[in-house]
Amino acid sequence: MRGQREALQRGEITRPGAVNDTLPWALYASRVPGCAHTFSLPKSSDLLERFGSITSEVVRQGLDLLASQFQLSIVVRRFHWLKAPNPLLDMRRIAALLVASLLPLAVIADSDKGDDQSPKFYNSARHAAADPHVFYDSEKGQYYAYSTEGADEGYHFAIYISPDLSTWSKHPGGVLKAYWYWAPETYYNEKTGWYFFIFAGRLREDLAKDHFRYSKFEEPSKLGIAVSRSPTGPFNEIRSEPIGYYPYDPNYHDINLVMDDQQMLPPESLAKGEAAPKGTYIPTIDPNIFFDNDGRIYLYTSRNAYRNWNWDSTLGKYVEESNIIVVELDRKWWDDPFARTMPEIASSQINLNANNAPELPSNITSYNGTGEIGDPPRKDGWKTVISYGADPQDWENYHVDDYVKFNGTKKNRRWSEGSTVITRNGSDDKSVYMLTYSANNYEASNYGVGFATAESPLGPFKKSSKNPVLSQKPDGEFPIYSTGHGSIVASPPPDIRINFGAQDVTRKSLDGTELFYVHHARNDTTRDRSIFTTRMSLNDSAIFIGSDDAISMSLTPLDQALPKDTYPISFQVSCSRDRSPGARFDVRVMSKAGASFDLMEGTNRVVSLPGAVQATSIKPSRQRDGGYVLNFNTTSQGDQMQNNAASFSEAVMKSNIMHESKDEERKAAFIEEEA
């Protein structure tokens, strides 16, 4: 320990873990080689941002005093103010530590070691990101999120990057230049080095007839796939066409063919509905691929609500529904070292329903909703795993009376979409498959996430009676709406040498990690949906078929602990070689896994003290991969830094300010009390 402290005094140690692993999030100050100034990076948003310049000034004075006395690196534990019984008392407490405790040590820390002292974050809802799918790339130490919304103009599917599931930065552009696409997911094959991007899209009119018999309806949707050597692209489609999968339902009465031209109101009786011709091709959206322990691969999709009317005997009417369906995939596409093979379904499912297909009606031109009559090449198999009829739950009924509520402008509907599948062993050591899904429209008050269990990836799945396990919280001080459609990820491995594969989280839990459900939500019903990170728990003792308690989720608008092993952070800093006027520093801030924080992202603010002066420019560094050049090029600030060798520049991470009104009240109270 003595050697570490001496190294810290020399400014050689920058990782708090090298000094004291109980200091997860820290305030740093160290001499920058070749610079005349002392440089500091506090990872302490609650300390420096929630109380604004008052707290910043207290910290600055304390650091000036300590630095002038010892000229050594200082590490100060990051306090969490929001949940403290009296945040103002705690603020004075840290000020007293900084200003009065002139101990000949390199570490000043709070003696409490409770969980409430761990670094915190909250969901800032900064980025538009509907239907997010997230995976952790252990080779890069980063999380990557792909979403329907948020891409730059001319692109579809935004890409977001985060070292810790809380600070997200948007990658420029998007994944594809495309037309009306939804719900992307990305899978990484560690053996071949390829990233597979699968998505749903609405077919152009001229292509719909190749995949649907009756091509004229609202969403003739199919699945596509693109590949890349990098999680941020560029992605290129293996072929400029949908995946060759033609799910066909030979027993479905195609109600649209006996509806009027408006296609809004189905027949009023089951008998009239059953007079419609049988047989229809199924449009699919919201793909999710599951890689089982035995090497088999399964494709889950949502059978699009369009062209899927189901008779509800309790309500005595037809309701247009989406269901979750599944089919097994062949492995050739996944194992192809060149990523040139399109995904194909298992041979047992190819054209499985051809023998049961009814003949085309002879008077087909007399039916509505046909469009150009198509002739797809196959009638493939599939299996329903989630539907209302098989396992009805009342919370899924929000939209079943929409036709009357909205004066004939909306259909009576149900939705089951956005599935994710994982598996774990139950108490009998047999595999239990758990599927999460979203129900209702995201604008509905009871839109949310449910889960179901099964003994096979092909079902049947039994829904939890405690659904939904995730739903909106509209009545809090900081409301949350539109909670749904997410994916399951884990915190990074405790040891960065462990390679935890991108899909491993769906099959096993790594000791020391925790689970998260990353989904969309929003704080205002007029805003876009954004990325939200919610803690998810698996109850090991409740993992069995038919379980009601296997999965739980902890949605909160308040601060929550950062995912394990995303901290402590470290930093690298040096004088920039740029000779322009002003103070320039070359800075890289990293997570425990070595992933860089994007200092150009607004939640990772960089300021210089005194005065909380923001950098006049931030740009990527040419010297340091993942680093940024910070320029404080103002006359007053430049003079100050030239004249004061003990001045500090600060990188304030994770500000995520949402509590401005509360902060103003606290600052006012603090000023009054101090006066």
Q: Provide the domain limits for residue 637.
A: 2-119+602-614+631-674
Q: What is the pLDDT of residue 633?
A: 66
Q: Is the Cβ–Cβ distance between 529 and 486 less than 8 Å?
A: no
Number of H helices, E strands in the chain: 10, 39
- Clarify whether residues 96 and 140 are in a common domain: no
- Clarify whether residues 89 and 196 are in a common domain: no
More confident of the two residues 623 and 502:
502
- Please state the rounded mean pLDDT for residues 578-586: 67
Between β-strands 413-414 and 383-386, what pairing exists: parallel, antiparallel or unpaired?
A: unpaired
Q: How many CB atoms lie within 10 A of CB 85?
A: 6
pLDDT at 474 over 70: yes
- Clarify whether residues 188 and 308 are in a common domain: yes
Q: What CATH number is attached to the domain comprising 378? A: 2.115.10.20
What is the spatial distance between Cα 278 and Cα 361, in angstroms, rounded to a whole number? Answer: 9
- Clarify whether residues 306 and 192 are in a common domain: yes
- Clarify whether residues 115 and 239 are in a common domain: no
- Please state the rounded mean pLDDT for residues 653-671: 38
Q: What is the pLDDT of residue 119?
A: 80
Inside any domain, residue 591: no
The total number of structural domains that make up the chain: 2
Inside any domain, residue 589: no
Backbone φ and ψ for 145, nearest 5 degrees, come out as: -115, 140
- Please state the rounded mean pLDDT for residues 606-610: 58
Between β-strands 530-538 and 120-121, what pairing exists: parallel, antiparallel or unpaired?
A: unpaired
Q: What is the pLDDT of residue 631?
A: 80
Q: What is the pLDDT of residue 190?
A: 94
Inside any domain, residue 576: no
- Clarify whether residues 264 and 406 are in a common domain: yes
- Clarify whether residues 435 and 490 are in a common domain: yes
Please enumerate in sequence order all residues whose Cβ is within 8 A of that of 122, keeping only pairs 6 or more positions apart, or say none. 166, 556, 557, 558, 559, 560, 656, 658
Q: What is the pLDDT of residue 153?
A: 86
Q: Which amino acid is at 31?
A: R
Q: What is the pLDDT of residue 209?
A: 85
- Clarify whether residues 504 and 374 are in a common domain: yes
Q: What is the pLDDT of residue 116?
A: 54
Lowest mean pLDDT among 18-22, 24-28, 292-296, 399-403: 18-22
Lowest mean pLDDT among 117-126, 308-317, 592-601: 117-126
Inside any domain, residue 275: yes
Reported as a single tens digit per residue, the pLDDT across 289-336 is 999 999 999 999 999 998 899 999 999 999 999 999 999 999 999 999
Query: What is the average pLDDT score of the chain?
Result: 77
Inside any domain, residue 23: yes
Percent of the chain with pLDDT over 90: 52
Reported as a single tens digit per residue, the pLDDT across 333-364 is 999 999 999 999 999 999 999 999 998 877 76
- Clarify whether residues 547 and 607 are in a common domain: no
Q: How many CB atoms lie within 10 A of CB 351?
A: 15
Q: Which residues pair with 284 in a beta bridge?
A: 303
Inside any domain, residue 656: yes
- Clarify whether residues 150 and 99 are in a common domain: no
More confident of the two residues 457 and 617:
457
Inside any domain, residue 341: yes
Q: How confident is the model at residue 609 (pLDDT cuts 50, 70, 90)?
A: low
Q: What is the pLDDT of residue 272?
A: 96
What is the spatial distance between Cα 603 and Cα 654, in angstroms, rounded to a whole number? Answer: 5
- Clarify whether residues 255 and 225 are in a common domain: yes
Q: What is the pLDDT of residue 464?
A: 98
Reported as a single tens digit per residue, the pLDDT across 74-97 is 222 222 222 222 333 233 232 222
- Please state the rounded mean pLDDT for residues 137-155: 91
Q: Which amino acid is at 228?
A: S
Which DSSP state fits 32? P
- Clarify whether residues 163 and 108 are in a common domain: no
Q: Is the Cβ–Cβ distance between 585 and 576 less than 8 Å?
A: yes
Inside any domain, residue 571: no
Q: What is the pLDDT of residue 182?
A: 66
